[in-house]
Amino acid sequence: MNTTDSPPADIRQWSGLLRTGAWAAIASVILIILQIALYFVWPPPDTARELFTLLQENPLRGLIALDVLYPLSNLLTLLLYLALGVVLWPDSRSAVTIALSVGGLGMAAYMASLRPVEMLELSNLYVQAEPAHQVALLATGEGMLATWTGTAFDIYYLLNFAALLIFSVLVYQSGVFSRATALWGGAAAVLMAIPSNFGTAGLVVALLSLLPWSVFAVLVGGKLWQLSSEPRGPALRKRAT
Do residues 21 and 228 make contact, with C-beta atoms less than 8 angstroms apart? no
Mean pLDDT of the chain: 88
Question: Can you say whether the dihedral through the CA atoms of 124, 126, 129, 133 is positive or negative?
Answer: positive
Q: Could you count the other beta carbons within 10 Å of the beta carbon of residue 49?
A: 16
Q: Rounded mean pLDDT of 219-234? A: 80
Distance CA 61, CA 160 (A): 27
pLDDT at 54 over 50: yes
On whether residue 238 sits in a domain, the answer given is no
Rounded to two decimals, the pTM is 0.86
On whether residue 237 sits in a domain, the answer given is no
Do residues 26 and 216 make contact, with C-beta atoms less than 8 angstroms apart? no
Give the bridge partners for 4, in sequence order: 238
Assign 3-state DSSP to the chain and report helix, strand, coil percentages, each to 5. Answer: 80, 0, 20
Please give the angle made by the CA atoms of 43, 48 and 51, to the nearest 5 degrees: 45
Q: What is the pLDDT of residue 231?
A: 61
On whether residue 153 sits in a domain, the answer given is yes
Backbone φ, ψ for residue 5 (5° rounding) = -145, 145
Split into its structural domains, the chain has a count of 1
Residue 132 Cα distances to 56, 73, 80, 129, 210, angstroms? 20, 39, 49, 8, 43
On whether residue 29 sits in a domain, the answer given is yes
Helix (H) / strand (E) element for 237: namely strand 237-238
Q: Rounded mean pLDDT of 200-213? A: 90
On whether residue 107 sits in a domain, the answer given is yes
On whether residue 12 sits in a domain, the answer given is yes
State which residues form the domain around 179: 4-229
Q: What is the pLDDT of residue 32?
A: 93
